[in-house]
A and B are shown apart, each in its own frame.
Chain A
Amino acid sequence: MGDVLKVPTMAEFKAAGKQPEILFWVGCAGSFDDRARKITKAFVRLLNKAKVDFAVLGTEESCTGDPAKRSGNEFLFQMQAVTNIEVLSTYDVKKIVTACPHCFNTLKNEYPSLGGNYKVMHHTQFLKSLLDEGRLTIEGGKFKGKRITFHDPCFLGRANDVYEAPRDLIKKLDVELVEMKNCRKKGLCCGAGGAQMFKDAEVGQKEINIERTEQAMEVKPEIIAAGCPFCNTMMTDGVKNKAEGQIEVMDVAELIANASDL
């Protein structure tokens, strides 16, 4: 695990006159947040293992603009979007995979009318396709038999109707997948969306992430699986508050990568 990750950039590909199979859109959390960086690395290890020809934009990537848009700052959002679309066009990008449902939603739904048309996949969808094509194998490894519940990210689930890909992957780990009372279409938000991640919540009786963590605890999981770096942060905080040391919060990509000790 100590060896350096192979993370080529689009610029390098272009210099070599080649085009990667996918662009891995890392996102701000995946690039800068300590916890989310681990998810990024786990996903890259899986890409390397499956021998996927991928590249990142690296220093040419910039925020998709999602938090600005959902705060109401359409100007800033569109500035970000148009700038990103320009960069993506210079590399003639066709297919984007990202581990962040917010980037996923924005790139997939809001970039097209600004001139950015790509096939956009969430990393769980892409991993599922690798699995189906036989390019990736998943084994339970150290998670075998563990009780895992999956927290649906709003921007993957309700926003884009992706419910099964992450679950299909988790089931492959030979674990016991348990559902919370609010799951899939009825999944409860972690509290981070709509730019809430970046501000304190309004006055109320409880933090949303605590409510969600309590729902998870009801089904007594050993691990809460997530598919979004922001949900991951929120749930990790919630667990710290309510069930420190009893429950782990892990991204689906981390589960798969760690299961086979990648």
Chain B
Amino acid sequence: MSLLPNIIFAIIFFSGLGFFARNIRKLRRNIYLGKDVDTSGDTKLRWTNMAKIALGQGKMTRRPISGFLHIVVYLGFVIINIEVLEIVIDGFLGTHRIFSNIGPIYGVLIGTFEVLAFLVFISVVIFWFRRNTVNIKRFMSSELNGWPKLDGNLILYFEIVLMALFIIMNATDVEFQSSNNGNIISQFFAPIFEGFNVNLIERIAWWMHIVGIIIFLNYLYYSKHLHILLAFPNTYFGSVKPKGFLNNIESITNEVKLMMDPEADPYASDSTDTLAPDKFGASDVLDLNWVQLLNAYTCTECGRCTSECPANQTGKKLSPRKIMMDTRDRLVEVGNNIDSNNGEFKLDGIQLLGDYITNEEIWACTSCNACVEACPISIDPLSIILEMRRYLVMEQSAAPMELNNMMSNIENNGAPWPYSQMDRLNWKN
């Protein structure tokens, strides 16, 4: 028996994993380009969130149709992957269905996989029709033009092909078919291949299936499909505070306290994060914190946020999904810049704010949290919008004129309107 297939398999397998690991390291590095943020504490709540929202798909069914289909694909994907274990062992050892001698349970397992593969296949086909032929508004927005739209479809094609190969591989496995144990779905497809060289077809399907899986794995890094991995850390690190909470910038607290109390010791606190930052707010991805950057990589571009956004619903340019997609695109650009400049970021004259996201989008937000609530995987577009407002106001003094008036009123007379603080109790008369 020749060892060649085993060697080829090992080469494909390890180079696939190696390439994947390399990209994951890059991903990690890019995410940690973000500023530090305190995510300590509430460990139990965080695990619960992850279990409920990512593992349990808790928020998906708020849209019943897509939610149900998604759960089918998700469960199918996870469970069928148990079969990959056998495929990999067979690949290395040159065995064939190494687990088949564990008895009837093997049939139960493969039978389950076959049924799931069939259901996944159907669901994915429905997904394709929803995306491409039914006019669902959140899939029609201009921010999906080009790569995002193609990406969405490519994922579906990958899944269709992988599921089909799995069934074909079983249908053409003469031994497996004749054992009649677990071929619940594939038995109906077996007759199609009668008269052909089934052994050859089986081998081709087997190889294409495993190579396809390895390619798909490596595709993740370039795709919105990354959410299948990142949804887990993202739901863990997602905010555990009430949604209305917006952080107080610590360095400003120090300054304000000094202003209010000249006696205070400016050196009382020596922790570095209380020193004035070089910039207030965010104009580029490096000004955001790493959880916000993780959010950007995790976004699956489903558009549930945008379809709930009051500004977007009434025709404004703001789209919280676009905020996340822009952040990711810019972060990828910064990462590539670093890669091609020996590990250092070379100024490229481009910013997230201005070159990707316009001020008009930033000012249209009502901070209503509908996007945050709608996101099935705990992404917070609002926090990025507010960081950019901070930059526009505190670094650029670029607020709309009416807001400047409102703020000077607060400064002068403690109310957003020009009424004297001395008149505050006049209402009772």
Q: What is the interface of chain A, defined by CB distance below 8 A to chain B?
A: 4-5, 7, 9, 26, 28, 30-33, 37, 40-41, 44, 56, 58-59, 61-63, 65, 67-83, 86, 105, 108-110, 113-114, 154-155, 158-161, 185-186, 188-189, 191-208, 210-212
Q: How far is the CA of A85 from the CA of B424 in the complex (A)?
A: 18
Contact B366 A72 (CB under 8 A): no
Please indicate the chain A residues that have their CB under 8 angstroms from the CB of B166 in the complex: none
A83 vs B421: C-alpha distance in the bound complex, in angstroms? 14
B210 interfacial contact with A, CB 8 Å:
no
Shortest beta-carbon distance from B328 to chain A in Å: 23
B370:A202 contact, CB within 8 angstroms: no
Known: A28-B415, A74-B249. A185 touches B390 (CB 8 A): no
Chain A residues, Cβ within 8 Å of B373? 158, 185-186
- Given A110-B245, A198-B416, A206-B315, are A186 and B308 also a contact pair (CB < 8 Å)? yes
Could you say which of A7, A69, A72, A208 contacts B310, with CB atoms under 8 Å apart? A208
Given contacts A189-B366, A192-B366, A202-B364, is CB(A40)–CB(B406) below 8 Å? no
Q: Give the docked Cα–Cα distance between A78 and B250 (Å).
A: 10
In the assembly, what is the distance between CA of A9 and CA of B255, in Å? 32
Within the complex, what minimum Cβ distance (angstroms) separates B390 from chain A?
4
Q: CA–CA, A210 to B315, complex, Å?
A: 13
Bound: A33/B415 CA distance, A: 11
In whole angstroms, how far apart are the Cα atoms of A110 and B280 in the complex? Answer: 18
Q: Tell whether A202 pairs with B389 under 8 Å between CB atoms, given A109-B242, A155-B244, A159-B243.
A: no
Rounded to whole Å, the gap between the CB of B406 and the closest CB of chain A is 4
- Interface positions of B from 218 to 257, Cβ below 8 Å from A: 241-246, 248-249, 252-253, 255-257
**Which of A7, A68, A155, A212 is in CB contact (< 8 Å) with B425?**
A7
Which residues of B (353-396) have their CB < 8 Å from a CB of A? 360, 363-370, 372-373, 386, 388-394
Q: Evaluate contact between B424 and A63: CB separation under 8 angstroms.
A: no
Q: Which chain A residue lies CB-closest to B419?
A: A32
B427 at the binding interface (Cβ < 8 Å): yes
Q: How far is the CA of A74 from the CA of B390 in the complex (A)?
A: 7
B residues within 8 A CB of A40? Answer: 427
B314 interfacial contact with A, CB 8 Å: yes
